[in-house]
Structure 1
Amino acid sequence: MNRNDDWMQRDLASLWHPCTQMKDHETLPVVPIRRGKGVWLEDFEGKRYLDIVSSWWVNIFGHANERINARIKQQLDELEHVILSGFTHRPVIELSERLGRLAPTGLGHCFYADNGSSAIEIALKMSYHYWRNVGRPEKRRFLTITNGYHGETLGALSVGDVALYTDTYRPLLLDVIKVPAPDGFGLPREQWVEQARACFVHMERALERHAGELAAVIVEPLIQCAGGMRMYPPEYLTWLREACDRYGVQLIFDEVAVGFGRTGTLFACEQTGVRPDFLCLSKALTGGYLPLSVVMTSDDVYTAFYDDYATLKAFLHSHSYTGNPLACAAALATLDIFEQDDVIATNRGKAAQMERLAAPLREHAHVGDVRQTGMILAIEMVRDKASLSPYDFRERRGLRVFRHALSRGVMLRPLGNVIYWMPPYVITPEELELVAEVTHEGLEIATAD
């Protein structure tokens, strides 16, 4: 059986796909993938697709990367998994030590899970529990900015603000305080700081008013990815850290999507010169190979839980595959590649090429914004360029781009009306040129009427 249609029919008879209205597949074929190599995926009939979205932002060093493969194969012959409560193993120890050296100074304690949403749940629970352990149980609420996204589990949804994901489940969610996001949509880069400063007034007021009941502020540093790749300057995070310290509120950075080189530095928070109380990491941590996430935190937080068992201060949170050795081995191989290949420096040249290739799209009659931070570039389609009025989501303009791109061998999966490039770091200049060409074609088709 090597026909795409055969695999598609078996799929539709048995699978329920994530983030999908399954009725769409009456007219939009599922693409069965047989193998991958580098930035390319290949279906069962030999057609190839350039993975410009890094398979949901996880695959940074290409599919079937020989160095990551070798590390996992070696680990597979030694230890595939062991409970991490009361036991430990070499890969998780080495990974924790290395992350502690790479992250902002003072984040020396790693708590593992297996996906980004779980990391957010851990950080939220840990922050609330910290205040309870130090005698401040009234500090139990959270503050965030609008348009954020932190995952699909109930706590993570609560601190998110993308209506498409949250509205249905609103009766189940926590009561979270939200203030306007500082994104620079439609503004030239040189005006982002001014816009962010104006927005920070709302954050300052909320902190002043609610400090006595707030456990933490949670934000995605620099880029709100699932919120349409909206971006803001690092200065906002510097002001936020100072204000959180002043009002006695903890700070959670969700770097699940933006960590590991996406923003131009290994961690986005490096661009701010500040340290969060909790740093949440996942996705690219294993190079796109295996599920793994981690929450990194400080001595202050760790010691608040360190006591005799009878005090019930322990953080009794667990996942079956916490700190899985195979996933940790993949993560160690990923960190090796960063170190040995000077990836961050190389990415600067690729980011500059992305900027050059997208520049002509700024003049398109239905492009309201072209924005970029590091290795993430977004092109936002609008109905009217002067007013920046959006297309109605029901018109599904992004789906038109997606269909065209597939026909041209590019997996370009827009977020609503936002076309974005988030490529594996091993992409070549020629492959980026193909992506730009297909993007321009798709944009013309999507905005033709």
Structure 2
Amino acid sequence: MSDSPIWHPFTQHGLGEPIPQVARAEGAALYTADGRRIIDAISSWWVTTHGHCHPRIMAAVAEQAGRLDQIIFAGWTHEPAEAVAQGLRAVMPPELTRVFFSDSGSTSVEVALKMALGFWANRGEPRHRILVLEHSYHGDTIGAMSVGARGVFNAAYAPLLFDVGTIPFPAESAEQACLDALEAECAAGVVAAFIVEPLVLGAGGMLVYSAEVLVEMAAICARHGVLFIADEVMTGWGRTGTLLACEQAGVVPDILCLSKGLTGGAVPLAVTMAREPIYAAHWSADRARMFFHSSSYTANPIACAAAAANLAIWRDEPVGERVATLAARQAERLAAAATLPNVANPRALGTIAAFDIAVPDAGYLSDLAPRLLAHFREAGVLLRPLGNTLYVMPPYCIGEDDLDAIWSEIGRAVATIA
């Protein structure tokens, strides 16, 4: 048993694996309490975009902390929240007119699902079925787990999860099967919403599908009046090469979920944006039709200050150029890695590069991932495989030397472990 009382997420403490203590961070590097420098190859679980402790974001947080730390957001407002909402309206699709704050990706999804069901309930229409994409992941709260893939990670909680319709993942050989299944489900007339991770499924294994399929999925939903929810918690803020993944398909969802990079990864914050008819369905003199959702820290002023600073960075600095440069560098290194033995299905989208390690019995709970984790931990690289899938998703500020070091260690790991 550990001396620490902390229970860490997605960690089997019974394995006795070391848990390094990080003392500080800067740019693309973490520094441990014992003086080691660790390259952050996964943006600290996909959140850090511009780099750790970005001066503009840190200054905004410090300034706001001395002015207003927290205020109830039910019936009250504050300047940082108004700035974020207006800033989002300026850069997100104009059809998304309403901004609802929450505190994490999972809760932004919970909010989206409740918005969709509330929309139909307030219209008096019996639509209640939710459709999801095979292999998807949308978070670890109950509603978010319900609309994600079922497996060992949520089997114990099955009695809590509601039933959903699952659409086949649109791999190249299954694109039409995906679209046909979606058409059939939507035609039944009881589907409230379809939720997707646009273009790439993150925790499901960095599975990539085409923009053309995303276009068709959105069109099918529109044809049958089904609300289209885009979970851009991971894919947003430049990860796929554009501000939103949906941009690459010219698709505007009915409801959009954002978190992670919303504050540049500095502090927790999320928003769910919605088209005006969804807001209007809840607008009434009847208090029973209000949107019943909140948390104590909704639109926390300090978190909103960080998000406002992030939006300013996107406005004032050449973030798009940094994303494009990193995407090109990642593609080059992935192409080289693809020639290694046991490397299968190399794939890249924007700043995300991934491949599978082709070894027998390499499922999610095999010993491959722990062995890889140990290798990278000792080598000074933060990489966290998804079963037999290795991926690199670093902050946009990462330098050539650090990127080279990451991919060099990947090459060693594939050669010595796989």
TM-score bracket, shorter-length normalisation: over 0.9
1:13 shift after superposition: 2.8
Which 5+ residue runs of structure 2 have no aligned equivalent? none
Partner of 1:196: 175
Deviation per CA, 1:155-204: give whole Å up to 9, x if none: 11110015132322222111100021113xxxxxxxx4x64344322222
Cα distance in 2 for partners of 1:239, 1:105 equals: 21
Q: 1:355 to 1:23 in 2, by over 3 A?
A: same
Q: 1:266 to 1:394 in 2, by over 3 A?
A: closer
Cα distance in 2 for partners of 1:195, 1:233 equals: 12
1:50 shift after superposition: 0.4
SS of the counterpart of 1:61? coil
Cα distance in 1 for partners of 2:61, 2:163 equals: 42
Partner of 1:364: 340
1:305 shift after superposition: 0.8
Q: 1:122 to 1:393 in 2, by over 3 A?
A: closer
Q: Root-mean-square deviation (CA), in Å? A: 1.5
Q: 2:14 aligns with which of 23, 34, 40?
A: 23
Matches within 5 A, 1:89-108: 89-108=78-97
Cα distance in 2 for partners of 1:64, 1:162 equals: 36
Cα distance in 2 for partners of 1:60, 1:139 equals: 38
Partner of 1:291: 268
Cα distance in 2 for partners of 1:214, 1:201 equals: 15
| Letter matched to residue 14 of structure 2 | K
Cα distance in 2 for partners of 1:360, 1:425 equals: 21
Partner of 1:416: 387
Q: Which moved more, 1:248-257 or 1:198-207?
A: 198-207
Matches within 5 A, 1:238-257: 238-257=215-234
- Corresponding position: 1:172 with 2:172: no
Cα distance in 1 for partners of 2:281, 2:337 equals: 52
1:59 shift after superposition: 1.0
Partner of 1:406: 377
Matches within 5 A, 1:27-426: 28-136=17-125, 138-183=126-171, 192=172, 195-208=174-187, 210=188, 212-310=189-287, 312-383=288-359, 391-426=362-397
Cα distance in 1 for partners of 2:336, 2:28 equals: 25
SS of the counterpart of 1:253? strand
SS of the counterpart of 1:35? strand
Q: 1:437 aligns with which of 386, 396, 408?
A: 408
1:205 shift after superposition: 1.9
| Contact 2:362/2:387 (8 A) holds in 1 | no
| Contact 1:401/1:439 (8 A) holds in 2 | no
Bigger relative contact order (CA 8 A; separation at least 6)? 2
Deviation per CA, 1:92-128: give whole Å up to 9, x if none: 0010011112111210100111011111111111100
SS of the counterpart of 2:184? helix
Q: 1:182 to 1:82 in 2, by over 3 A?
A: same
| Letter matched to residue 94 of structure 2 | T
Runs of 4+ in 1 over 3 A off after TM superposition: 392-395
1:380 shift after superposition: 0.7
| Contact 2:322/2:397 (8 A) holds in 1 | no
Identity %: 39
Cα distance in 2 for partners of 1:50, 1:406 equals: 10
| Contact 2:363/2:387 (8 A) holds in 1 | no
Matches within 5 A, 1:1-16: 12-16=3-7
1:364 shift after superposition: 2.6
| Contact 1:287/1:330 (8 A) holds in 2 | yes
| Contact 2:232/2:258 (8 A) holds in 1 | yes
Cα distance in 2 for partners of 1:67, 1:164 equals: 41
| Letter matched to residue 262 of structure 2 | L
Cα distance in 2 for partners of 1:425, 1:361 equals: 21
